[in-house]
Structure 1
Amino acid sequence: MAQVTLQGIKRELKTKGYLTELRKKGYVPAVYYAHGEENLFLAVPENKLKPLVFSPETYLIDLNIEGVGQKTCIIKEFQLDPVTDEIVHVDFHGLKAGEKINVEVAVHLIGTPIGVREGGIIQHSLHKIEIECLPTEIPDKIDVDVTHLKIGDALHVKDLNLGQYRVLTNPEATIITIVPPALHKEEAAGETAAASEQAEPEVIQKGKKTEEEEK
């Protein structure tokens, strides 16, 4: 797993206006929490945080908090503005040696399916799988060989052999399906028609609700 360093500054629990000013200065309000420790409220530079949030990978972060010291953690959750997609809040989960954590890991497809060579289309439905493991065992990605899949075949979470990892994602969840070209075109046309009938765009919530102080 890739390891990066991120700087943070402590912040106070204050009003929404205070948090808005932080964001105007290029900082994202955040909280750090870990088992057996008090929560730390901080802010991190948005330009340094973006590459970590908008990435399929999960990073091991050395979070240097001014006046506190270094905390090793991962990004557990984040909240995006539903209109601008700007990061408005992030949670850092502190890691403890010997203590297992739940973490989402990117799915990496390997090979070209037989069905694609025969004209089929890949539908990649699941891009991350949640597992439980020790911090030292977090993989960079989960490699999934798809070369054997034919048109009409689907690969589910339960089909994977992840060895020492405990899989938390629904075992029936579909990772990838190889669909016939005609079916793919019909589905695409249906989605276009449905979108044109909507009076307003649907707002999809991403991340999680922000903490109480930010309401």
Structure 2
Amino acid sequence: MKQRIDLAVAARETGKHNSRAIRNNRHVPGVVYGAIENANVTIDEKFIVKYNTRAFENALFNLKSDNGKLNGKVVLMKSVDVHPLTRRPVHVDLFALDMTKTVRVFVEVKLEGKPIGIAEGGLLNVVSRQIEVECLPTDIPESFTADVSNLGVGDALHVSDLTLPSTVKVMSRPEDTIAVVVVQEEEVAATPAAAAAPAAGAAAPAAGAAAPAKDAKAATPAKK
């Protein structure tokens, strides 16, 4: 069973004044929604900082609270708003789960191996690092692993190439690209074509200079 992390929360009053006071006390105002009646809560800031990382992106949190409606609820940390300057968390959204129903989440794809195309002058371009899946909360994977060793220049790894557990349903499009080996562009010295560019550019002013002459002629008063 997927490990759960205890997270202490307390009910809070709404309003800007209360939210400001909560933040001054190094706590973060938040809301719990989903398989529960919406509830306003407050959480110790240090816990939000600790768990608001990629490593805990799909972690299951077991709420601990004196409020009976909140205590024991299992949630996902869906989003954390941070201050643009201090980078301190200012608000958190917690999604309460129905453990008997599936949920959609994005799961990281970790690439392993060195593509053979690199030896051919290619470069591995990672297009997407996550895919969307649907599964029961207890079946949410921490990540998926894909081997890119056999990718040559021009070869790509698609969502359909991933091997996933039977308990997980892929929601991303099968044809979506995760990574591709592309030709590495090299800086090339001036070529004849490049050298000809200024000459072509020089012709532009000459063509542009003809326009005023035509306009001037048109502006000349007609002879009586």
TM over 0.5: yes
The answer to whether the aligner puts 1:6 opposite 2:7 as a matched pair is: yes
Tell me how far 1:165 sits from its aligned partner: 2.0
User: What is the aligned partner in structure 2 of residue 148 from structure 1?
Assistant: 150
Corresponding residue SS for 2:98: coil
Give the TM-score normalised by structure 2: 0.70
Q: Is the 8 A contact 2:157 2:178 kept in 1?
A: yes
Q: How far apart are the structure 1 equivalents of 2:143 and 2:32?
A: 24
Tell me how far 1:170 sits from its aligned partner: 4.0
Root-mean-square deviation (Å): 2.5
User: What is the aligned partner in structure 2 of residue 61 from structure 1?
Assistant: 61
User: What is the aligned partner in structure 2 of residue 203 from structure 1?
Assistant: none
Equivalent position to 1:181, from 181, 184, 189: 184
For residues 88-131 of structure 1, the C-alpha deviation after alignment (integer angstroms, 9 at most, x for no partner) is 22211122232111112121212222223444333223222221
User: What is the aligned partner in structure 2 of residue 18 from structure 1?
Assistant: 18
- Map of 1:48-87 to 2, 5 A cutoff? 48-56=47-55, 57-68=57-68, 69-87=71-89
Give the TM-score normalised by structure 1: 0.73
Q: Which amino acid in the other structure matches residue 147 of structure 2?
A: D
- Map of 1:28-67 to 2, 5 A cutoff? 28-35=28-35, 37-56=36-55, 57-67=57-67
Q: How far apart are the structure 1 equivalents of 2:174 and 2:101?
A: 24
For residues 29-84 of structure 1, the C-alpha deviation after alignment (integer angstroms, 9 at most, x for no partner) is 2111232x211111112221223222244211112123332221111233333444
| Bigger radius of gyration among the two | 2
Corresponding residue SS for 2:9: strand
User: What is the aligned partner in structure 1 of residue 219 from structure 2?
Assistant: none
Aligned length: 183
Q: How far apart are the structure 2 equivalents of 1:166 and 1:40?
A: 31
Corresponding residue SS for 1:44: strand
Corresponding residue SS for 1:182: coil
Q: Which amino acid in the other structure matches residue 49 of structure 2?
A: K
Over 3 Å counting, the alpha-carbon distance change for 1:23 and 1:161 in structure 2 is same
User: What is the aligned partner in structure 1 of residue 214 from structure 2?
Assistant: none
Q: Larger relative contact order (C-alpha < 8 A, sep ≥ 6)?
A: 1
User: What is the aligned partner in structure 2 of residue 27 from structure 1?
Assistant: 27
Q: How far apart are the structure 1 equivalents of 2:104 and 2:7?
A: 21
Over 3 Å counting, the alpha-carbon distance change for 1:88 and 1:174 in structure 2 is farther
Corresponding residue SS for 1:152: coil
User: What is the aligned partner in structure 1 of residue 206 from structure 2?
Assistant: none
